[in-house]
Amino acid sequence: MQLHEAFQLVEALGVEEANQRIQQEGWKLLAITQRERVGSIYVLGKAGPVDPKPKTDWEAMVG
């Protein structure tokens, strides 16, 4: 998953919090950035819900 594909984002402050969210809550690591006062920030994301019905009606299109 890439950053632009994420449906939901969260920042984790530190490697312990990032690991916990990844292992226990199903988040995916998308980026690591730095903040002067805090240190490393881990950007985590989750994919959006999958639409079970496609946006187009393929059966009607192909006959």
User: Where in the chain are the domains?
Assistant: 3-47
Residues in the chain: 63
- Give the side-chain half-sphere CA count within 13 A for 41: 10
CA 14 to CA 24: how far, in whole Å? Answer: 16
What pLDDT digit, counting tens, does each position of 2-60 carry? 877 888 999 999 999 999 999 999 999 999 999 888 899 999 999 887 766 666 666 66
Q: Give residue 8's pLDDT.
A: 93
Beta strands 28-35 and 8-13 are unpaired
Residue 55 has a pLDDT of 65
